[in-house]
Amino acid sequence: MKNLKILSLACALWLSGSAAMAQVNLDSLDAVYDSLSIGEVSVTAAKPMVKMEADKMTYDVAADEDAKSATVLDMLRKVPMMTVDGQDNITVNGSGAFKVYVDGKPNPMFSQNASQIFKMMPASAVQKIEVITNPGAKYDAEGAVGVLNIVLAKQAGGGAAQVVEGLTGTVRAQVGNRSVGGGVFFSAQKGKLAVSGNGFHQRQRLKDSEIETEVTNSDGSSRNTAVSFTQRNPFTMGNLSMNYDLDSLNTLSASVGVMAFRAKMEGNPVVSIGAGNGLDGSTKYAYEHDLKSRYTSLNASADWQHFFSAERNHFLTLSYLLSHTTQKTENGMVYDHLLPSLFSVSKPKSLEQTLQFDYTRPIGTGQTLNVGLKYIARTNKAWAEDRTEQTASLTEYRHSNDIGAAYAEYEGRFGAFSTKAGLRYEHTWQSVSYKQGQGDDFKSNYGNLVPSLSLSLSPSMTKNIGLTYNMRISRPGITYLNPYVDRSTPGHISYGNPLLEVEKRHNIGLSFSSFSPKFMLNMGLNQSFSNNQIDEYTFVAEGEVNKTYGNIVKLRNTSLTAFANWLVTKKTRLMFNGQLDYADLRSSVLDTKNSGWHTNMMLGLQQTLPADFKLGLNALFDTKNYTLQGWKSGYEMLVARLSKGFLSNRLNVAVVGFTGLRKGGAINIETYNRGRDYVQTQNIRVPIWQVQLHVSYTFGKQGVKTKEHKSRIQNDFMEKKSEQEQVTPASGTM
């Protein structure tokens, strides 16, 4: 009898494998890998933490023990193809030109302030992280290197037969020497209605960070600014989603999410100015600098989906998405008699509405055709004022960007081989009008034809080889385009360029994935190139450092990524995540070029100790990273976690500590930029050492599964942002 049960199990595994041979789909085998039990026979194995496919990579955050006490930014440091540098800047394959989704829906707030949000957002709020390097024709062309999709923690459900009525959830709290916060997550099912929600609040306070910037001009004159500042960041987020089955062939879904984020920085910069051309004399003065920023975001979506058959492989979807974002920034610099004090206020806001139609139809065995139409209407409005005791200037403008798109995509599976090929056309209508202030009204419209191709071979159920090609674009945002001159920093001015073109980047990728119950290996080789990359550049004119933007860079970037996870014993797991890349950047406009190697890596250990205590150790290293006009140094960090579950693991308690490996538990970041007639150096020191206590408790029925709303809109549209549109205080200059 026992042998018969084992044979039945083997047959079930073989049948499920032959049905999915064309693509490694380990999600469908979760139940098998987690625990398979037939009578007296029990087969258990580890669930894969990382799944690499031809067009995307998925990191299972919920399967990582460290997620119970880490932030999302901490988890991103473990994710293949992702890099988080010492200033918390996030890149994918060396580029910051990616778009951020939350539960499959675009979130402009996350995209504009990803670093600040993720380093305050608990990883326990996330189910998985998807890095979509080849989004395909169904996705918008926006995003030079792809899409980062954050899937929030919910009790994910399937068909009606899997739904168990009831309520379940988790409450969490965290306190440390630099931060405090808490949150709640729940899901519920009643008949045909499923509801899930989450919300959390966190407050962070960092002090004694230091920035020193020095500019030396070709005439020998110099300017040095040194400041020590304190930063405060309260953050609140909430989301509610629902799913209702109208009948067996029609489903209605909706969700709404809100987010509020504040940032405050206070410091007293000291400025030293040295004379040039062999002249003697210097000037030194100090001033008070106070920077306050406030962001709010509202996102809402609704979907109606109709299935033409019980198999649910032939369907159409109508979707609507609304996103509204507001921002207010107050910047004050108070001088002591030497210079007039300067105050500035800016109030940008945006409204984005999207209407989308998608149709999917099988056209043969293992073959599917997807077609769709989409229209995005986005309006940005901004009001800004700069004033001193004697003067005042006001700027007010309206920026409209409408996009119409159509796509067709073919998917085919033939035994162990699968392919996806698509073509997308997008047309953009853009206009900028100034009601007040300096700036010229202008209009432009243009079209882009964007191809994509993905090939995948699965020689076995646990191995996959993928080859991809795609072209991606980045539209310049208003800060890049706006010619308004910002004089908020003495001796420095910045302004946009309204003549910028759409940035185009071509990407070719080769991936390999292998999985076994004890060892997992994922590798990727990527090549990207662009002949009109948008970049900022600086030059000195009339004694002032000017910063602006242009389509001035030819980029060639080659990267090799690797992720390995080794279950040494039942109680010991070793992890490695690393990337090696070579960048070549050239600009004929600036008559300059730069190139160099860069690497970053994470070494991790997860150990089960006596009494079922869990220990996690992560060491992170990053080397010098090259830019067009210079370089940025790397960093070293160490993170440790000790946790234990109580009350059948309903209650989890963890102590977390992390530190930089420099004096005082700090990280030091040096930046070097060289122009035609100046050299700029910057040294940033951030004491990041922290100790935190995390407590979480799960209530309700264990294993409850509910359906949640996932918007059918896959909207990548978000303009390329400048650093001025991102809140990354550590990289700013006070």
What pLDDT digit, counting tens, does each position of 151-161 carry?
A: 877 643 333 33
State the pLDDT confidence band at 281, using cuts at 50, 70 and 90: low
Instruction: Give residue 37's pLDDT.
Output: 37
Instruction: Give residue 708's pLDDT.
Output: 47
Q: What DSSP string describes 258-316? A: EEEEEEEEEE--EEEEE--TT---EEEEEEEEEEEEEEEEEEEEEEEEEESSTT--SEE
Instruction: Give residue 280's pLDDT.
Output: 59
Cβ-based neighbours of 82, under 8 Å, separated by 6 or more = 76, 90, 91, 92, 131, 148
Instruction: Give residue 427's pLDDT.
Output: 95
Average pLDDT for residues 475-500, to the nearest whole number? 77
What pLDDT digit, counting tens, does each position of 645-655 carry?
A: 999 888 989 99
Q: Report the mean per-residue pLDDT for the chain.
A: 81
Instruction: Give residue 296's pLDDT.
Output: 92
What pLDDT digit, counting tens, does each position of 389-402 carry?
A: 778 888 888 889 89
What pLDDT digit, counting tens, does each position of 172-221 carry?
A: 898 999 889 888 888 888 888 989 888 889 898 888 889 999 999 888 88
Q: Is the pLDDT higher at 491 or at 264?
A: 264
How far apart CA 90 and CA 73 sit, in angstroms, is 9
Burial status of residue 3 (CB atoms within 10 A of its CB: 0-12, 13-18, 19 or more): exposed
Give the up-direction half-sphere exposure of residue 599: CA atoms within 13 A in the CB hemisphere: 8
Give the least confident one: 72-76, 120-124, 162-166.
162-166
Residue 720 has pLDDT above 60, yes or no: no
State the pLDDT confidence band at 277, using cuts at 50, 70 and 90: low
Instruction: Give residue 488's pLDDT.
Output: 64
Q: Is the pLDDT higher at 588 or at 28?
A: 588
Average pLDDT for residues 110-131, to the nearest whole number? 78
State the pLDDT confidence band at 583, using cuts at 50, 70 and 90: very high
Instruction: Give residue 599's pLDDT.
Output: 93
How far apart CA 422 and CA 370 sit, in angstroms, is 9
How far apart CA 327 and CA 402 sit, in angstroms, is 22
Instruction: Give residue 368's pLDDT.
Output: 96
Beta strands 417-436; 222-247: pairing state? unpaired
Instruction: Give residue 111's pLDDT.
Output: 74
Instruction: Give residue 681's pLDDT.
Output: 94
Instruction: Give residue 42's pLDDT.
Output: 39
Instruction: Give residue 62's pLDDT.
Output: 84
Q: What DSSP string describes 646-698? A: ETTTTEEEEEEEEEESBGGGEEEEEEEEE-SSEEEEEEEEEE--EEEEEEEEE
What pLDDT digit, counting tens, does each position of 451-473 carry?
A: 999 999 999 888 889 999 999 88
Give the up-direction half-sphere exposure of residue 694: CA atoms within 13 A in the CB hemisphere: 26
Instruction: Give residue 704's pLDDT.
Output: 44
State the pLDDT confidence band at 117, using cuts at 50, 70 and 90: confident
Beta strands 492-494; 544-569: pairing state? parallel
How far apart CA 299 and CA 321 sit, in angstroms, is 8
State the pLDDT confidence band at 83, using cuts at 50, 70 and 90: confident
Give the least confident one: 195-209, 249-263, 358-372.
195-209
Q: With beta carbons less than 8 A apart as the criterion, state whether 634 and 626 touch.
A: no
Instruction: Give residue 718's pLDDT.
Output: 44
How far apart CA 79 and CA 577 sit, in angstroms, is 7
Residue 54 has pLDDT above 90, yes or no: no
Token readout for 84 is 């988080």
Instruction: Give residue 711's pLDDT.
Output: 53
Token readout for 378 is 């986005």
Report CA 695 to chain centroid distance, whole Å: 26
How far apart CA 400 and CA 377 sit, in angstroms, is 8
Nearest to 135 by CA among 180, 99, 110: 99
Q: With beta carbons less than 8 A apart as the criterion, state whether 530 and 506 touch.
A: yes
Residue 94 has pLDDT above 80, yes or no: no
> pTM for the full model?
0.78
